[in-house]
């Protein structure tokens, strides 16, 4: 009996072993395909699935496997599309598995190692309608209002004209991506100059895909090109002209970040390279581009120049560059295109309400809104310090962590030696500082040390630290006295107006502004 049991056990083991061998031969571990996307990018890939985000309404996906042993059922979650109007031309059979408002899951079971799927969006019978906005710069409140309106009124898509972030960090892209992901219509973006800072261009590509794209929808050609560096590459200029010269469509719309000219009298906050701007203007005029939408200047403006309408929609959250009557109000732009023409008009948004964990840094030509999370991405400085009040009493001793004022001002273009810095608190209190406070010479440095915007005190960060953000002077002796203050206050500033070192340590900082 024992021999039979042993023999049976050996037989089962052999059978199971053989089964395992057969299974291993038939279904080895699959390697993921190589995927390239024209008009989009890959967000995630595994051996049997991938997530692809479209950056236009017309795009193509190419998949390539190494060998036949890698083939099998493969699922693609394609996002940022209009699923109900999606048309697919494929070199293999496909099946729609599940749709949401802006995505679809497609199943393919390829028999060839190379597969291509070409996607286009079929027109419907309604007039083309979309929202345009720009320069949210990390303030997601404006985006939340725009997305709420989009989810209620259902435009065909949204266009963000750049400066989605304060300075292009991963956490900033995650924040704006999360806010935009609530939209039930597709969102297309172009990078702004803030988005490419500190390695931000690569992160833009990771989150939003190519910096240029084109598509045709409802008989209108859309082109988006990159001006985030202050100029336009020769490759992009050639692409613009070739795309425009080849299109049979009468209506044409271009999207970018920086306008080709500043419509304000005496303004120069536009494309830095004027020769390139003139060349693109000539191309747009030659090929009869109807509208160029841009941001960068924080206002609404509509100007017609040589039959091209130039619309600036830079009011999604960053601080404004004009008075309300001159276009300085928070807004997005609602655009409807009918056979009879274009309807273009701003829709006002509620003004941002900043808590004590956000502040604005404003340069001569640009500004940025920063949160406590943004500040923590910058090079930090820490040290102990204290100040003397008007009664010669010492206050505030402890360890401060923050960012040098010089590093903050670099984000908005730096300052000249003749410039002044105005710092305003939430309660309206303000102080003026000079270039020498920001970049002290050896004599001033021995008395003042580094000038720092602190966001943490003795281990407590803003917003729990209720005095922050706070200006802090960090001399080596850890004591900023009234005498030190007197010797580091330029004429007409600081000690000469109010004899207190403590008054220079502005609490509840809301605005840091360069003045010339």
- 224-268 pLDDT, tens digit per residue, is 999 999 999 999 999 999 999 999 999 999 999 999 999 999 888
Q: State the pLDDT at residue 364.
A: 86
Whole-Å CA distances, 51 to 27, 35, 91, 117, 185: 24, 10, 19, 14, 18
Selection from 106, 111, 112, 78 nearest residue 94 by Cα: 106
For the residues 413-435, what does the mean pLDDT come to?
90
Compute the average pLDDT of residues 33-45. 95
Question: Who contacts 512 (Cβ-Cβ below 8 Å, separation ≥6)?
Answer: 359, 360, 361, 362, 405, 408, 409, 421, 422, 423, 453
Using CA atoms of 299, 300, 304, 308 in order, give the dihedral in degrees to the nearest 10.
90
Average pLDDT for 405-422: 94
* pLDDT surpassing 50 at residue 512: yes
pLDDT exceeds cutoff 90 at 85: yes
pLDDT of residue 3: 41
Degrees (nearest 5) of the Cα angle 211, 215, 217? 140
Predicted pLDDT at 351: 87
Q: How far apart are CA 89 and CA 118, in angstroms?
A: 5
| Local confidence band at 356 (pLDDT 50, 70, 90 cut-offs) | confident
Q: Is 476 left (phi over 0), alpha (psi -120 to 50) or beta?
A: alpha
The model's pLDDT over 465-475, given as tens digits with 9 standing for 90+, comes to: 988 899 999 99
Q: Are 332 and 151 in contact (CB under 8 A)?
A: no
Q: Where are the domains of the chain?
A: 34-121, 128-348, 358-515
Q: Which one has a higher pLDDT value, 428 or 169?
A: 169
For position 81, what pLDDT does the model report? 96
CA distance linking residue 473 with residue 445, whole number of Å = 10
pLDDT score, position 23: 40
Average pLDDT of the chain, as a whole number: 91
pLDDT in tens, 196-231: 988 999 999 999 999 999 999 999 999 999 999 999
Q: Which residues pair with 450 in a beta bridge?
A: 474
What does the pLDDT average to over 262-282? 93
* Helix orientation angle between 140-153 and 170-180, rounded to the nearest 10 degrees: 20
Distance between CA 125 and CA 218 in Å, rounded?
A: 9
Residues 160, 133 contacting (CB under 8 angstroms)? yes
The pLDDT, as a whole number, for residue 471 is 97
Tokens, residue 442:
């050896």
**CA 495, 497, 503, 507 torsion-angle sign:** negative
pTM, two decimals, is 0.81
**What confidence score (pLDDT) does residue 64 get?**
97
Query: Do the beta carbons of residue 294 and residue 312 sit within 8 Å?
Result: yes
Cβ pair 81, 99 in contact under 8 A: no
Query: Quick check: 462 pLDDT over 80?
Result: yes
pLDDT digits (tens, 9 = 90+) for 328-337: 999 999 999 9
The predicted structure's pLDDT at residue 19: 39
> What CATH number does domain 128-348 carry, 3.20.20.80, 3.40.30.10, 1.20.1300.10, 3.60.21.10?
3.60.21.10
Residue 18: the pLDDT is 43
Q: Which of 135, 191, 125 is nearest to 156 (CA)?
A: 125
Q: Span 358-515: which CATH code?
A: 3.90.420.10
Flag the least confident range among 347-351, 362-366, 401-405: 362-366
From residue 231, alpha-carbon distances to 201, 225, 270, 310, 507 in Å are 15, 11, 10, 17, 39
Mean pLDDT of 157-181: 95
Give the pLDDT band of residue 28 (cuts 50, 70, 90).
low
Second CATH level (architecture) for the domain 34-121: Sandwich (2.60)
Predicted confidence (pLDDT) per residue in 113-159, tens digit: 999 999 999 998 899 999 999 999 988 999 999 999 999 999 999 99
Of all residues in the chain, the percent with pLDDT exceeding 70 is 94
Band of pLDDT at residue 162, cut at 50, 70 and 90: very high
Q: What is the pLDDT of residue 9?
A: 43
Per-residue confidence band for 354, with pLDDT thresholds at 50, 70 and 90: low
């Amino acid at each position: 009996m024992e021999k039979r049991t042993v023999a049976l056990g050996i037989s089962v083991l052999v059978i199971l072993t053989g089964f395992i061998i057969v299974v291993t031969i038939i279904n080895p571990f699959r390697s993921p395909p190589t995927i390239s996307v024209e008009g989009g990018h890959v967000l995630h890939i595994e051996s049997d699935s991938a997530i692809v985000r479209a950056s236009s309404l017309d795009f193509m996906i190419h998949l390539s496997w190494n060998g036949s042993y890698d083939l099998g059922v493969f699922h693609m979650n394609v996002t940022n599309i209009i699923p109900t109007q999606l048309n697919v031309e494929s070199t293999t059979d496909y099946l729609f598995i599940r749709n949401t408002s802006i995505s679809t899951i497609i199943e393919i079971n390829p028999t060839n190692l190379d597969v291509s799927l070409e996607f286009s969006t079929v027109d419907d019978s309604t007039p083309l309608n979309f929202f345009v906005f720009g320069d949210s710069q990390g303030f997601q409140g404006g985006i939340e209002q725009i997305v709420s309106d989009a989810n209620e009124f259902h435009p065909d898509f949204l266009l963000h004209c750049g400066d989605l972030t304060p300075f292009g960090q991963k956490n900033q892209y995650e924040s704006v991506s999360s806010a935009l992901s609530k939209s039930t219509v597709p969102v297309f973006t172009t990078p702004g100059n803030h988005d490419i800072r500190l390695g931000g261009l690569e992160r833009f590509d990771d989150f939003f895909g190519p910096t240029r794209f084109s598509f045709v929808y409802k008989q209108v050609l859309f082109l988006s090109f990159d001006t985030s560096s202050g100029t336009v590459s020769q490759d992009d200029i050639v692409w613009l002209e070739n795309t425009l010269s080849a299109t049979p469509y009468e209506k044409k719309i271009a999207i970018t970040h920086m306008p080709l000219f500043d419509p304000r009298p005496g303004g120069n906050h536009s494309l830095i390279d004027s020769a390139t701007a003139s060349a693109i203007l000539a191309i747009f005029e030659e090929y009869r581009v109807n509208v160029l939408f841009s941001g960068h200047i924080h206002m609404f403006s509509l100007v017609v120049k040589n039959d091209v309408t130039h619309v600036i929609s830079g009011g999604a959250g960053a601080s404004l560059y004009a008075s309300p009557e001159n276009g300085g109000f928070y807004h997005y732009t609602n655009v409807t295109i009918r056979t009879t023409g274009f309807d273009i008009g701003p829709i006002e948004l509620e003004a941002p309400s900043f808590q004590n964990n956000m502040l604005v840094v404003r340069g001569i030509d640009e500004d940025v809104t920063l949160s406590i999370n943004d500040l923590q991405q910058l090079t930090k400085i820490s040290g102990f310090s204290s100040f003397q009040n008007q009664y010669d009493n010492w206050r505030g001793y402890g360890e401060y962590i923050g960012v040098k004022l010089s590093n903050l001002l670099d984000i908005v273009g730096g300052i000249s030696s003749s410039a002044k810095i105005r710092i305003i608190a939430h309660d309206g209190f303000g102080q003026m500082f000079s270039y020498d406070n920001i970049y002290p010479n050896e004599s001033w440095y021995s008395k003042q040390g580094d000038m720092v915007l602190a966001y943490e005190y003795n281990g407590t960060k803003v917003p729990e630290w209720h005095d922050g953000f706070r200006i802090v002077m960090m001399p080596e002796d850890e004591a900023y006295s009234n005498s030190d203050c007197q010797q580091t206050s330029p004429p007409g500033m600081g000690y000469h107006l109010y004899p207190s070192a403590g008054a220079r340590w502005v609490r509840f900082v809301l605005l840091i502004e360069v003045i010339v």
